[in-house]
Amino acid sequence: MINIAVLGYGTIGSGVVEVLSINGDSIEKRAGDKINVKYVLDKKEFPGDPIMEKLVHDYDIILNDPEVKIVVEVMGGIEPAFTFVKGALLAGKSVVTSNKELVAKHGAELLSIAKEKNLNFLFEASVGGGIPIIRPLNQSLTADEIEEITGILNGTTNYILSKMSEEGIDFETALKDAQNKGYAERNPEADVEGYDACRKIAILSSLAYGMQVDFEDIYTEGITKITDIDIKYAKSIGARIKLFASSVKQEEKVYAMVAPVMIKNNHPLYSVNDVFNGIFVKGNVIGDVMFYGSGAGKLPTASAVVADVVDVAKHLNKNIWTIWSSKKLNLADVNNIKHRFFVRISDKDNQLSTKIRELFGSVELLSLEGLQEEYGFITSELTEREMKEKLKQLPVINSIRVRF
């Protein structure tokens, strides 16, 4: 029997206990031993829940119990998660976590302690919920040089943008709907401002390039400036707006960015809608690969956590080597990236067409029925820097990067 302790009995923690109970027999066969939840750590009480028998409030009980071989951290946030996880590794216990903030900030250090101690620190559930993406990057795609990772990595914002597109509603209404369905937090900032996707692409980039990509260095724009009118323009040309988290390697430089983009149905992520996540990876020998599925939620995330527990159980005295050095990868300046852009201009008396031609050459003007005082157009490829300079000279309502 392999004893584990689960830190945090919230949505994911209770999901982990549930998955181990629903699929206990097949998990035992795959792990080669029975996985037993010996302790659950939480500040709260859960009257009437059988978990009360295993509930502890003092982490030292877990830390000092040599029978606990694996600690599952599903509390979220940096502290006390970091102290608990580091303490577990130093005490000779392997760790599985779903905590993207912790992994993005301290992944390199925790992996290095795990390696030194011949233990494991696994974090499949920290990106893409139930979708396998960490293990593919570490194991299945190791023959490749990764040239691009582009993901729809946040289910909440994907749901909001899908709702806005399907129902023609504005951002605030779609956000309220997401909150009512439990897809968005009461304080939705981390999702809608792109911070959650930023941490996830920082983790994937660190793994793809084997060095520390600091999330603070990644240019990040959320979806709060996307309006129902932007989406109407997109629909009028057969496009959708998605929040992309990308990192691209070009000539030994890595660019990373989180921002809304317009895509058409020739893009592999076009059909990733609602709360689903999708991750597109381009390798120099494999070509294009796609990963799709439930990027959040109790059981999908718990599925990835428990699969990591099984992997640790199969490697109890062997470190699964992950290359992620603490050496910082200096990201290239995003101002040098080239995109096409969709631009909306306010032009009451139709006086700006000459100026637009002067700045952008001949572009087709797009208009929406009932909107007389503005129009849109799509530029040819320009660097972010060139675009900023040009847009200073026009009454811009919004601009969105285009990938078609």
Catalytic residues: 200
CA distance 231 to 165: 6
Contact letters (x/-) for ligand HSE, 123-142, by CB under 6 A?
A: ------x-------------
Q: SS3 for 89?
A: helix
How many residues touch ligand HSE (CB under 6 A)? Answer: 8
Q: Taking contact as CB under 6 A, which single stretch among the options 9-17, 150-158, 239-247, 320-328 is the one that binds ligand HSE?
A: 150-158
Tokens of 279: 């991750």
C-alpha–C-alpha distance, residues 233 and 44, integer Å: 49
- Residue 156 in contact with ligand HSE, rule: CB under 6 A: yes
- The span from the CA of 210 to the CA of 207, in Å, is 5
Candidates 8-16, 67-75, 153-161, 360-368: pick the segment binding ligand HSE (CB under 6 A): 153-161
Q: At what angle do helices 24-31 and 298-314 cross, to 10 degrees?
A: 30
283 vs 293 by CB, closer to ligand HSE: 293
Task: Tell which one of 28, 42, 124, 191 touches ligand HSE (CB under 6 A).
Answer: 191
CB-nearer residue toward ligand HSE: 42 or 196: 196
The single residue among 196, 308, 347, 384 that binds ligand HSE, judged by CB under 6 A, is 196
Report in angstroms how near the CB of residue 38 gets to ligand HSE at its nearest.
27
Assess 206 for contact with ligand HSE (CB under 6 A): no
Considering the rule CB under 6 A, would residue 278 count as an interface residue with ligand HSE?
Answer: no
CB of 385 to ligand HSE, least distance (A): 31
Q: Which of 155, 260, 293, 300 binds ligand HSE (CB under 6 A)?
A: 155
Using alpha carbons only, how large is the chain's radius of gyration in Å? 23
111: Cβ contacts below 8 Å, ≥ 6 apart? 121, 322, 324
Q: 155-167 and 228-236 are packed helices; what angle lies between their axes, rounded to 10 degrees?
A: 70
Q: Does 308 bind ligand HSE (CB under 6 A)?
A: no
Provide, rounded to whole angstroms, the least separation between the CB of residue 216 and ligand HSE.
Answer: 19
The reply on whether position 15 binds ligand HSE by CB under 6 A is no
**Would you count residue 295 as binding ligand HSE (CB under 6 A)?**
yes
Beta-ladder partners of 242? 261
Which residue type sits at 103?
V
Instruction: Give min distance, CB of 40 to ligand HSE, in A.
Output: 21
Task: State whether the Cα torsion 169-174-180-182 is positive or negative.
Answer: positive
Closest CB 344 distance from ligand HSE, rounded Å: 27
User: 94 CB contacts (<8 Å, ≥6 apart)?
Assistant: 69, 70, 71, 88, 114, 119, 120, 121, 122, 312, 316
Q: Which residues bind ligand HSE (CB under 6 A)?
A: 129, 154-156, 191, 196, 295-296
